[in-house]
Structures are given as structure tokens and as C-alpha cells.
Structure 1
């Protein structure tokens, strides 16, 4: 392919019953970000401009997987070796990514890419390989099944693992009919409030930043997201994969906004923000409805990933009503870990135990801060 202006670093063979082989090609991170939009499976976690900013202490590899010289999959993987050859970690978040998820052998290609990662990082690199499969709108996540079959061990799961997917691969009438009854009623009321929906360019991001900071100040909850890196993502990502910005205004003033990663076949709700006026105006209902209508007009996009809820009942009711009858609520997979050698296994398990313990403590602190004496 013309996009593969890359240098071959290694070739690994991964066999199926048909004796299919894949080549692994290292890609310059800038080339990776410029061509990542080709992959149906691509997501923000697999963009170098996102990963390098959020995890600056890690080394980043961008890989293309070729079969008979043709690009079929890819992967961004972060890694860091421990001193004295004691092992280290290689982390893949929401990957590998497949070029064509509609291909009859798409899942087999995904498995071949995992095999190549095991060979390169777990066996030859002597690292613990940690893969967090992408959440998918299905009851069974095929990637988790593939990893279990390859002797990966499940790590700690999320306390509230539900993930909410809206089916936008239908027409407006069918989508609206799918919503929960109360969700439709709120949407109907919001449409009578004189709200204006706008699909904006990146120049309007300061408006969204002000909305978001106003919201977090008002709600006074700790923000453990990667919001502080959003400006870097929006300003530096290639145009082909830049997230979309949507705003809702009332009497000319912004009351709600959302940033959506809409590259690939599944759009992801990255960030949302509202001000004090948004709730009585039901601005969130109109905003998401118009976003879904916009997504439905994009030929490639089939699903709208709304993310999770962190256990907030009101957020569950809002997202569950939006998912409706045509969508699906699935679970975020557990991170899956594999180490071929003893020292990397011991080091990796120790590091993950420390990380998971810290995460549990932070969740407990967050729960104490968000539950007041009058709640």
C-alpha cells in the first residue's frame, strides 16, 4: 500500500489451520496517526498522539500487520523494560485493530496479531504482555475469548463494568422508536425549548473547555480522566482522525457540549459538559439525539459507545434509555496478562498488584467525596 512508507524490522509467523502468516512492520508514529483512520477498529486509545501524551514514561511502538503484503491489522503498544534484564511491561489498550471488521476472517486476523505480539514482546522481549480488549456491543467479547485460549490471565475488573452502545446503523424513525419511553418524553420536551444544535470546528474548543471546567467546579468531584490532555489531542491529531465537537446553545449562549471520536466503525463519547441551564432545558437529550442523527449519516459508523457510569444511578437511567431496544449494554473486559518467563511474571504481577491497590484506594476516596451527609 502507498501508506506503508515504513522500514521492516522483523518478521514473525503466526499460523492458523490454513497456515496463514503475518508480517510485522514498524511504522513511524507520525505515519501511524496519519493512516490510522483506515482501520475499522481504530479508537483514541490506539492513537500515538493520545498515548504518548497520556503515558510519557512509556516507549511506544506502532505496528502494521501484513498478510501476503497487504495491510490487515495494526497495533499501538506501549512498553518499558526494568533494569538489569528483570523483565518489564508491554501494554496494549483497545487493540490490536483490524482493517476491515466486516471481513469473514476478521476475528482470525485479530488472533494472528495477538500471536505476533506474544512472540515479539512476551517471548523475545521477555516482558509481561498486558492487553485490554476493546469493549464491544456483544454479549461475548471475542478478543477476551482469544486471549483466554492463549493462556492470558484475567486481571482486576472495573467495579462498574457496564458499557452502553447505541445502534446508529438505522434510520431516524427506528432509532427514535428504540429509545425508552421516558427518554423519548424528555427528548420531545427538549425540542420545544428553543435549543440550537451546532457541529463545530476545532476553533470552538475554548467554549467547550469553559463549559467543562464550570461543570466540574459546580459538581465538585475529582476528575481522574485524561481531560487535561484533550487540548493536545485536538491540536495535534491528524485531520483524518480528529474528534468531532458539538455544542448546544440557548438564546445564543452555550449550555452543553460533547467531544466524540468518530473515526472507525464505532464512535466514542469522550467528554461531555453542561452548565446550570442545561438540566431544566433537557439540553443533553437534544444534544445526544442530534449527535446520533449525525453519526447515522456517516456510512462507516454503526455504533455509538457512550462509555460507562461509575455507578451513578441517574447516569445509568439516562444512558440505558438512550440505548433502548436496538442497542446493547455489555461489559468492559478485564485486562488480560501473559508472561512467558518467570522473572517478568513476578515483576509484572507485583506492579499490577500495586497499581490495582492504588486504584481501589482512589475509588474509595472518590466515593467518600461524592457521597455527602445529606445524600
Structure 2
């Protein structure tokens, strides 16, 4: 019987109150998932497949003024370097060739060419990270090879020197965008006759017409005259709704700058352009290294995923985000190339010059 007594005895509970039964031990509550962290991870995954095509970087001018800056190893003197471009999911950037505003005439042309030469040399020196792109196809090739595509432009309109031959020379060197504001042929009342000829020649070459900084009448008249999509890459004020609707019909793109007091402010502007012009007419411009103020959450080029996470939290459909980040810019370039091929088949290079009406 001793053996039987050595067996463990099953616990018995007297029939009676349920209060006599010990409750099971409490499990510590699980930590709730951080929804913001989840959105950020989704944003990074999305950008790995559909990277940012950034419509405006001031790095070229910044590097002219800080020639010892190391873009490959990464520093914090500026807002851009190759490691942070990769962290930010950037697959392509337009590098602005604007020069200081006090330069005019031949000095502006010379400074622009110096800046263009610096960019081409820089891209050649850092070929493992950067690749020069002159077309939508080049953009895709760079992305597929793990490089960041560098597109040349915009050039400032005054750096054309009122010369269509100079425009063609810039195009031959790889320039694919020109900001037409600040010229004699873009007046408060709209385009002059020579200005209309400049637009036609830009369309013939496949150079994007950038309306940033233009008067509203110039924007409206250019959108009527243009045969190819136009771009508004860095306009200092909100673009009026009627211009956004014209831009939609033109298949152009309004780029929203990542500037302001908060990520929400930038996302609000994106919401408005998307709702008014449509998801096929909105894109992003970082405006980094331009001197523009950025929200703490968008301090440099590595911060783009935070903005995309905000859009995901606002229930932007994934296809709309894909068009925002890459597809709209690529499609705009392809459309401009298509128009260029068609126009070159029937139109020779223009020899027009300004007239007294353009003064």
C-alpha cells in the first residue's frame, strides 16, 4: 500500500462555493503594436520597389560652394549624400542648375555651364552610386542597376540668354528641364510671341517646361501653348485650382515641396493637389540643400519614408503612392520624348529671335 500512497494524489475540491477555487494566474498584457512603426516599415518596403523621383535638389550649387564635401561616405554639413539617399528610398533626382540671382547675361550662362560640368564630373567620380540619366529609360536602367539617377535641370530661364541656340546646347549636354520664369518673354500678362516660340522649341527638343515662379497668366498661356506635359517643380505659393485642372488636362505634374512646419502640412498639400489635379498629376520635390526650411521630421533626404508613412495612415491607395513616387515623373518624361520625336519629324530647329514686342 506504501507504493500506492507514494503516487501523486489528484487535488480534490469540496463541493461548495466557487470562490474556493483559485483563479488562474494573470498573464501580463501584451504590448500593443505601434501603428506608426508598421506604416514606416510598409513605406520602406514600398519605396524599395517604387523609389522616389525627387523633382528638385540644390546639391549642385551647394557643392560648388563646399567643394570638400564627401558625398559618398556621408556627412551632415548638407542635407544630401549617397547613404542618406539610399536610406530615403530615392531612385532619381533632378539636380537644379540654378545659379545665384545676381548673375545675369553671359555671367549667368558661364556659371550654369560651370555647375553643369561639376555635376557631370561628380557623377563620373561616384559611378557606383550615381548615374546620369537623360531619359525615362535611363532612369529605369539606373534603378535596375542599383544606382541613383541624376537628371540635369532645371536651368534658369535667364541663363538661356534669349537664345534658342543656347537652349539646344544645354539639351546636347543633357539638360532636360528649364524654369522659364524671370525672362523678358514671360511677362505678367503671359507669354510674348518669342516666349511661345521658346515653348515650341523646348517641346521639339524634349526639354520639360517648368512653370515654377511664373505669373498665373504665364502659367495659363503656357498650358494652352504646350504640346508636351509641363511641370511645376518648386512654386513658392499654392498653385491655384484652375491651373491644377489645366495641368491635369495637359498630363503635367505639380510637385509638392517637403517644406513647412510639419509632415502633416506637406501631406495636406499633397492631398489637395491629388484631389484637384488627380493622382496622375502629383509628385514630390525634396527641395533639400536649397536653403528652404524643412520640418523636423523631414530634415534631410533620408526622411522620405516618414512622409510616405503619413500618406499610408491617411489611406492613400498603394497605386496612388506608386504614381506619386516614381511613375508620374517617368511617364511625364516619356510623354515629352514622344512629343519631341513627332515634332522633330515635321519641324526644323527654330531660328527665332526676340523682337521689340518681347522687351
TM-score, length of structure 2 as denominator length: 0.25
More strand by share: 1
Q: Greater CA radius of gyration, 1 or 2? A: 2
**TM-score, reference length from structure 1:** 0.24
